[in-house]
Amino acid sequence: MNVLLDHFADFREGFVGTVLLTLASGLLAMVLGVVIAGFRVSPVPPLRAFGTAWVTLFRNTPLTLLFLIAWFVVPVIFAPGMSPWTKALLALSFYTSAFVCEAVRSGITTVPLGQAEAARSLGMTFSQTLRLIVLPQATRTVVAPLSSIFIALTKNSAIAGAFSVTELFGWQKTLSDQGYAIAWIFLWVALGYLVITFSISGLFQLLERRLGVAR
Amino acid sequence: MSSSVLYDTPGPKARLRNRLYTVAGSLALAALLAFVVYRLDAKNQLDPKIWNIFNNAGVRTNIRDGVLTTLKVFAAAGALSLVLGLLLAVGRLSEHRPVRWFATGFIELFRAVPLLITIYALWVLFLSYKDDLGVVGDNAAFWGLVVGLTFYNGSVQAEVLRAGINAVPRGQVEAAYALGLRKYQVMTTLLLPQAVRSMLPTMISQLVVTLKDTSLGYVITYTELLFAARTMASNIIVNGDNPFTAVVIVVGAIYIAMCLALSSLATWIERRGRRAKTGVAVAAAEPPVVLDGAR
């Protein structure tokens, strides 16, 4: 009657699904977030407006609503025939990108003013200043908030399971529908998420130590 | 032009280039917007008939009830999570080891588990022990949602409060003990007021998260705003199809408005707190007294 041993393959499949979905949407959210953060600090007003609108929109919308849009609106209006996995990827990474953008932007503001001023007085352009001077230094302060953003992303990926993507939550639902005791399933699934979130925070702590500079 | 340090005040060349980018950027944004409108129109989603459903009294009642239910869940979960957060924060800082361990374990467990899973597990639990739980059994989905939200957000609020308590200078606590205050007096009259005051913006931001997370009720088929809207949309047929797009746009706007209102409250409080940091007004300096023979 041990639910973990009886359904180990299912648990493993769900676990791998969660990890893959988190990795893929984390990567896409990073790229989107950094680009949008660049928009938000750029000297071009429409780009700034676009960045602000993006962040306001995605930070204040419940993720469940985004999933609903990805499931019922996007296929009808824009691209029919997307797989559920792609839809989940899009919803998760668009949502997370707004948070990444804010983290990166606040990281940019922590870089000492003198750095950007020195870069400018050397004749660097806006994109050079950002790319070569400011962003590399911002990375250091951004790592800590990014870690909690990715942990939140891991947990948010559970919503994809409710919308029929294979991952841990989906298996919990299936198993508890089969009549296994919910408490045990809950604990095993919790353990699965704990493994993922602990490895993320460990990884980022390592990264923080590597990037850290004695000042 | 701008206070940003990332670029210089533009000269004639840069102004020209920026103007070019501005035009190009505006055109790109306009094109994006036009594409969205075009696709909506091509799929017949801008048909006045579809948008006319919002003139229907039933639809309006449905949406209003959904909003009220969402607010009800939010009020219950928000209040309970603040209380639980307070208890857990104090518990985690307790001198009694069992209390401290219990609070730490509770916080770490429920912060690590996705909220959706907590809510789902509680819902199933409440459903299966319907008869034993009496009142709870009648609306298992409501209590599953509220208790799940409370456990998760209470744990987060506890960590926020703990950070606030730890930020109070150590000397104040020592001074209070030296004056002969008891443990609970130090906590209630000295630590908590200062912690709450400094952490209020963060706590309200967490309340915004609570408000957004009420939409997880959708998954356990609780008729909050999202589920109500979805059910309503699948019961209406306009032009041979369900008006999902229109309903989703309206519901999304409602959610964004609610969250923005709450987070602007947080911003307002933050700005207000920054204005008077100590809470004690400093008297204006007296005009300098010039003695008669001083010059």
Higher pLDDT, B281 or B218: B218
Residues of B in contact with A45 (CB under 8 A): 22, 25
The answer to whether B110 and B152 are in contact (CB under 8 A) is yes
Give the tokens for residue B208: 């915004």
A147 — contact with chain B (CB < 8 Å)? no
Indicate which of A55, A182, A189, A197 best probes the interface with B, i.e. most B CBs within 10 Å of its own CB. Answer: A182
3-state DSSP assignment of residue B106 = helix
Residue B194, judged by CB atoms within 10 A of its CB (0-12, 13-18, 19+), counts as middle
pLDDT at B124: 80
Q: Which of A43, A69, A194 sits opposite B7 (nearest CB)?
A: A43
Distance from C-alpha of B224 to C-alpha of B65, rounded to nearest angstrom: 8
Token pair, residue B294, equals 């001083």
| Residue of B5, B8, B224 best to disrupt the A interface, most CBs of A under 10 A | B5
Query: For all residues of chain B together, what is the average pLDDT?
Result: 84
pLDDT, position A64:
87
Write out chain A residues lying below 8 Å of B106, CB-based: none
Separation in Å, CA of A9 to nearest CA in chain B: 20
Is domain B51-272 annotated with CATH 1.10.3720.10? yes
pLDDT at residue number B153: 93
Q: Residue B241 forms beta bridges with which residues?
A: B238
For chain A, the domain total comes to 1
Alpha helices in chain B (DSSP H): 12-42, 48-51, 57-92, 97-112, 115-128, 130-133, 135-138, 140-167, 170-178, 183-185, 192-213, 225-235, 244-275
Task: Report the pLDDT value the prediction gives residue A180, as an integer from 0 to 100.
Answer: 67
User: Measured between CB atoms, which of A41, A60, A68 is closest to B226?
Assistant: A68
pLDDT digits (tens, 9 = 90+) for B139-188: 788 888 999 999 999 999 999 999 889 888 889 999 999 999 998 899 99
Helix (H, G, I), strand (E, B) or coil at B219: coil
pLDDT (0 to 100) of residue B103: 93
Q: Which residue has the higher pLDDT, A76 or B209?
A: B209
**Boundaries of domain holding A163:** 3-211
pLDDT at B1 (0 to 100) = 33
* B73-82, B250-259, B286-295: the lowest-pLDDT one: B286-295
Residue B281 above 70 pLDDT? Answer: no
**Angle formed at CA B201 by CA A26 and CA B257, multiple of 5 degrees:** 70
| pLDDT given for residue A175 in this prediction | 66
Contact status, residue A15 vs residue A192, Cβ threshold 8 Å: yes
Confidence (pLDDT) at A30: 92
Q: Where are the domains of chain B?
A: 51-272
From A134, which residue of chain B is nearest by alpha-carbon distance? B6
pTM given for the model? 0.81
Chain A environment of B219 (Cβ under 8 Å):
64, 159, 162
Q: Please count the residue pairs, one from chain A and one from chain B, whose beta carbons lie less than 8 angstroms apart.
A: 149
Question: Closest Cα of chain A to B171: distance in Å?
Answer: 28
Taking contacts as CB-CB distances below 8 angstroms, the residues of chain B near A156 are 114
Average pLDDT over residues B249-269: 88
The pLDDT score that the predictor gives to residue A12 is: 79
Q: Choose among B205, B204, B207, B230: nearest CA to B217.
A: B230
Burial A155-190 (b: 16+ CB within 10 A, else e): bbbbbbbbbebbbbbbbbbbbbeeebebeebbbbbb
Which of A47, A60, A159 is nearest residue B256 as measured by Cβ atoms? A60
pLDDT at A161: 76
What is the percent of chain B where pLDDT is above 70? 88
Tell me the sheet residues that pair with B238: B241
B248:A186 CB<8 A: no
The sign of the torsion formed by the CA atoms of B202, B207, B211, B213 equals positive
Contact at CB, B125 and A182, closer than 8 angstroms: yes
* Of residues B138 and B117, more confidently modeled: B117
Residue B140 CB: number of other CB atoms within 10 A?
A: 21
CB atoms within 10 A of CB A15: 19
Closest by CA to B122, choosing from B113, A55, A150, is: B113
What type of residue sits at position A87? K
Residues B164, B113, A210: CA angle, nearest 5 degrees: 65
Q: What's the pLDDT score for residue B2?
A: 41
* Preferred mutation among B116, B205, B206 to probe A, highest tally of A CBs within 10 A: B116
Q: Residue B184: count other Cβ atoms within 10 Å of its Cβ.
A: 9
Q: For B48-67, write each residue's pLDDT tens digit.
A: 887 888 888 888 888 899 89
Q: Does A117 touch chain B (CB under 8 A)?
A: yes
Partner residue opposite B216 with nearest CB, options A64, A72, A183: A64
- Which candidate from A113, A156, A176 shows the least CB-CB separation from B124? A176
Residues of A in contact with B40 (CB under 8 A): 77
CATH of the domain at A50: 1.10.3720.10
Ordered per-residue pLDDT tens for chain A, 215 residues:
466 666 677 777 778 888 888 899 999 999 999 999 988 888 888 888 899 999 988 988 888 888 888 888 888 777 777 788 888 898 999 999 999 998 888 888 888 888 888 888 898 887 888 888 888 888 888 887 888 888 888 888 888 877 766 666 666 666 666 666 777 777 788 888 888 888 888 888 888 888 776 55
Q: Does A134 touch chain B (CB under 8 A)?
A: yes
Give the Cα-Cα-Cα angle B216, B220, B224 (nearest 5 degrees). Answer: 60
